[in-house]
Amino acid sequence: MAGVSYYAAAAAGTGRPSVVQFGAAPNRSRWVSRTRLRRRNAGGRFGLDSNSELQVDVKPSSGSMVEIELVATNTGSNLALHWGALQPGRSEWVVPPAGIRLPEGTIRTPDDAALRTPFKNSGSNSTLKIEIDNQGLESIEFVIVDEAQNKWFKNNGQNFQVHMRPPAGHHHQGQQHSATAGSIGRKNRDVMQLLSKNASTNDQVNKAAEATPSKCTVLDLFIKSLQEKHGSQVLCKKVFKLGEKEILALMSQVQGSTKVHLATDHVEPLILHWALAQKPGEWKAPPPGIVPAGSTLLEIACESPFSDAELNGLHYQVLEIELDDDSYKGMPFVLRSNQTWIKNSTSDFYLDFSRRTAKSSEVTLPFSFSPILAKNLLQKSSQNPMLIFFPCIKGTSDDSKGTAKALLERIADLEEDAQRSLMHRFNIAADLVDQAKDAGQLGLAGLLVWMKFMATRQLIWNKNYNVKPREISQAQDRFTDNLQSLYKMYPQHREMLRMIMYTVGRGGQGDVGQRIRDEILVIQRNNNCMGGMMEEWHQKLHNNTSPDDVVICQALMDYMNSDLDIKVYWDTLNKNGITKERLLSYDHPIHSEPNLKSEQKEGLLHDLTNYMRSLKAVHSGADLESAIGTCTGYTSESQGFMVGVEVNPVKGLPSGFPELLKFVLDHIEDKSVESLVEGLLEARAALRPLLLSSTERLKDLIFLDIALDSTVRTAIERSFENLNNASSEKIMYFISLVVENLALSTDDNENLLCCLKGWNHALEMSKHSDDQWALYAKAFLDRTRLALATKGEEYHDILQPSAEYLGSLLGIEQWTVNIFTEEIIRSGSAASLSLLLNRLDPVLRNVANLGSWQIISPVDVAGYVVVVDQLLTVQHKSYDKPTILVVEGVKGEEEIPDGVVAVLTPDMPDVLSHVSVRARNSKVLFATCFDPKILSELEQNEGKVLSLKPASVDISYREIPESELLVSSSIDTVDGQKAPSLSLAKKQFLGKYAISAEEFSDEMVGAKSRNIAYLNGKVPSWVSVPTSVALPFGTFETVLSDKINKEVSQKVKILTEKLDQGELGALSEIRNVLLNLTAPTYLVSELKEKMQSSGMPWPGDEGEQRWEQAWTAIKKVLASKWNERAYLSTRKVKLDHSNLSMAVLVQQIVSADYAFVIHTTNPSSGERSEIYAEVVKGLGETLVGAYPGRAMSFVCSKNNLESPKVLGYPSKPIGLFIQKSIIFRSDSNGEDLEGYAGAGLYDSVPMDKEEQVVLDYTTDPLVTDCSFRTSTLSSIARAGYDIEQLYGGSPQDIEGVVKDGKIYIVQTRPQIGGEELEVDELLDLQQLRRHILDHLRVYLVVVGVVVEVRRDGCVVGDTTHAAAAPLDCSPNIPILSSPAAARLGSHPAAALGGEAGCESSSRDAVH
């Protein structure tokens, strides 16, 4: 196809490619119809080919005269301008009328349709000047022709058009829009019309890859048979294409014998015409003793027939040659089928033996090199001899985990062929599309990685192989046609396929905006300028490339052309309005001046000249124009202006779509980009229905969408400077635009669309001065950040393993591999969005009075600063000195490591998450930092000793000497003393497999079950408690010892012994083994009877399968005793894990609208008059489990329960919902021990799987309806207050749900930390007395002394015990801590205020 862009061959020996664009000669000299879109320019610089440029200057002369000067550099001596003019409102060009001073030599074309004017030669340049004095002309239009070569130059596939004066009528009328004030009317569409839910999760992707075996070819089977049956070691192998078939050539070694094997799936009989070579290019006949049977020896070669063979029913041909000498370097060969010779394209086939491990080496390397890796290692080892001993090992399971291993190794085998030319590469890629498809998303990831390595010049494009541009185009079309077919058939892979096409590009040129990011890395590497100003510029280019970069590039080129005169550099910058202050104002500032060397000059000038074209293409929208022209068409009444470039428009384009695209092009250089971006997004939204259907010429539409996407990114980046002092509303508006653009490029975009709706709602709130707008917007900022982080993790999981494995096979430089996924992410809208969020965040925090910190657990601490990535990776580590952890990631389920006094993180776990509770219980400072600068400053203090003092929304810190820390630590040790070691009494089976709530006791069930039983009938009528039954303590051990589970029991015993010896891997094995437990019939019958008598449905009534689901859930709860986190946690506090008993609380699930957790004492401030609660939509697992995002949080004064105050709106993207079902809750005897945060360590499992729903808070009345929100939150707070009163004012940790406005309490327990408050502060002493006297008997621990209080108030007993005795009725009676007892004086029991006659008994007991 003529007129198409393509990758041109690199200049000999440079390895640097250039992009060339040709136009074909005209068939007739009529201009094309102006229905196609055009690019308007009032001058500028344009690329003609790889070495030539056209400079156009337009300047007013006298009166209405306009002078147009054209200078073409480095051109031939026979250039001519083929041109005409445009009148206002006219789409057809005209021959210029009077008023134009025609330059010398101008002639009219034979059909009187255009003018032809020769350029004047001036050295290597050609110049032309035209003067026009006619206000009726708007612009001139032209192409340039080299008449000697009949070679035509166009402006990126279109005519050049030079605009002389403002076009008439260029105002807002109809579809015409002002270039300065115009705007595009966005259609009023529902955002959710853009929904796409085709993506698979990573787990599904990986499972699919594992479950779908690769299709083994007969050649794969042949290699496998050699290795398995004969024990052959493959020394080297090569696969060659034979049309649709292949031939495999490999060298193997077995028991000292070296052989060459050839195998092919070619159908027709073949003769191998072969020789051996001891130097490159040699053909030498083999010795007679090694030729196979039936061979014919020739003068310099041998001919040997292939034999027929079969493997697994697949036919192939095979030939084996045993070598007698190690001196051979390779084997050249060709093939003959009948009288037809078959070659490797135009060359001989060649199997290179040099990849064998050298026998002279003392080191045996247990792997083989890919050809590319081998060559790279050989080249580098000459400079660094040690390098050859440390290559990446090919084929190890660890290296290839998470990849389409077979595909990547196939790519590596074919890379040498692919390097011959881009035609070869694209054809090979086209052949591999099916194999990639069969491997699923990981296969497509492999293709993307390979193409990305190519696009960033990590791979050779051409090895002096002459190939026609048309052949490259055809190969590229074949490849992208195959990708287009997959795009139609596999919607779940569209995002990955877009990325591959993005990298390859339409017509081989690729996305110009992406090239800006890729090429600067190549320039730095090629010219050894990785630091200083070039690195600072690189960072700017990656984040916000702008028109300034064109000037910076020109300044660098001028600087080098002036023999490195730094004054010239600054002159060029300053003349174009770029000062030192401006360079420092970028998000990634440029501090340094260029400091280059003369030996770098030639290479850098060459590379920057090419790079300038990419910069200009981006900032003039040239790539977009080409994509638009391809879809909207180039047409002409007379068969078109140029041969081969007539393109028909894509059928079925939306009404008004061409006009919309014209609006985009007219505004492409607007300084204010809002209208441009609106137009681009409107175009993408209009295009979307066509992209989701099997549209004709779908590929052209995909490339148009890619170009629109790229232009949005570029426009947003160039607007950053204008946003420096922008209002919060304007920044939010830009965020909404970028979120929409990102959603339009994402397969599974429901979460992004919900974010978009949230931002739109925040904008409306702000416009209406809603006092909650900043708090609301902050929640969506957090959710959007979370969406970006999730996307980044997804890309990393899918792409990085393939980049690392393929990079090792191809010898790609490690720094390129390391940043592979990062560069992918930074090249998309996500990077721009992240920058905008960072700008808005401090504004929102300031307006909402959020400060820079959220203090989750306020404690003054001092310690050594240690920076870690994830808390999960160090949760079981012990630090030997007080440590302040600065942690990038906290999920919410982790343990606080021993020795840690503070955890500071940018992550946002819920205040009531398990890790938050544990931090407060352990008196650890735990806080979220919202300011990246503050966090960075803390990280820079790694290894230093800091003192931290938290305030309400801030933390002050200072460096202190080690001596001060040591004094502080020793004081803490004396005052605090170590907590006594904890112990568990092993629970016994009391003969019942199932019990009702009336039977719950401390010997049968844990506190969770007992608390529910205690609440039943005592809570207010408007609060409900679910009906409950339980499998009591000892049930599990009894079932395990039953003879029907003998085999399971034996396995558990063996695994437990391994666990006792420190083999933590046994934990998961034990859990898996326990899933094989069989339920005894008496357990089933007892549980059925208890559930039915309590009014609960029996799962078995719905069929045996439903009971099996229930039994599986029960087994998972029982097996959770061996969770890694739970096991290590008990070991940490020296609890005997074997004494931990597990009961199972059985409850009917309430299908919740909302779930909540209440702490009746504010855990962040310790304020006892204030209730703190968090609420999520759906089931509570997203709140108490490690689900990302924040819940809605609020506080409520106990003195005014009708006025809850919202502290934060929800940012959790996922809600869990379930229909009528049963949940089985863990209820161990180790969950509520004082000094041990055991709650939440063990699993609660519903019988049915919850449905994950992406949450849209813009339709949630709890978020949008103030009256509903106040009513619901007040009800939650009141329920918490009433339950606390039931426990005598003891602070409670309560879980519940809201369904149809009704409150349900599913569990309560003492609030960790709250129960340690002093008695005189916790309750009025009279309240405490009345509360205790309401109970028959209760034991209180007072400084290690246990006393019994009778109903009459008398205290009796004088026995000292180490632990509290069990509580009979209310398990949440407060236990007095030692400090509290101390405040009561020498006779703490006297505080109970018993009758006068009992007072002496109290004294005696305590004494």
Residues with a known catalytic role:
914
Residues sharing a CB contact under 8 Å with residue 283, sequence separation 6 or more, in sequence order:
275, 277, 300, 301, 332
d(CA 729, CA 839): 12
CA distances (Å), 1162 to each of 571, 870, 915, in order?
63, 28, 16
Tokens of residue 372, six digits: 């590319």
**Phi and psi for 145 in degrees, rounded to 5?**
-125, 135
Among 738, 833, 746, smallest CA distance to 791 is for: 746
Give residue 1099's identity as a one-letter amino acid code: P
Give residue 1103's identity as a one-letter amino acid code: G
Among 543, 549, 716, 524, smallest CA distance to 616 is for: 549
∠ Cα 259 261 262 (to 5°) = 155
d(CA 1123, CA 708): 50
Give SS3 for 1106: helix
Give SS3 for 85: strand
Give SS3 for 986: coil
Put residue 313 in one of left, alpha, beta given phi > 0 → left and psi -120 to 50 → alpha.
Answer: left
Among 503, 498, 504, smallest CA distance to 747 is for: 498
What count of residues does the chain have?
A: 1407
C-beta separation of 301 from 283 below 8 A: yes
**Phi and psi for 616 in degrees, rounded to 5?**
-70, -35
d(CA 282, CA 276): 8
DSSP code per residue over 608-673: HHHHHHHHHHHHHTHHHHHHHHHHH-B--TTS-SSTT--BPPPTTPPTTHHHHHHHHHHTTT-SS-
Q: Where are the beta strands (DSSP E) in 136-217?
A: 139-146, 151-153, 160-163
d(CA 448, CA 949): 50
Tokens of residue 282, six digits: 């040699």
C-beta separation of 960 from 945 below 8 A: yes
Query: Would you report the helix, strand and coil content of the chain in percent, each value rounded to 5?
Result: 40, 20, 40
d(CA 1162, CA 1159): 6
d(CA 86, CA 141): 7
Tokens of residue 915, six digits: 């890790």
Residue 214, burial from CB neighbour count under 10 angstroms (0-12, 13-18, 19+): middle
Which residues does residue 889 pair with via DSSP β-bridges, in sequence order? 870
**Phi and psi for 227 in degrees, rounded to 5?**
-75, -40
H helical segments located in 879-1027: 914-921, 932-939, 962-976, 1007-1015
Among 1084, 1083, 1081, 1087, smallest CA distance to 995 is for: 1087
d(CA 614, CA 785): 31
Which residues does residue 68 pair with via DSSP β-bridges, in sequence order? 58, 130
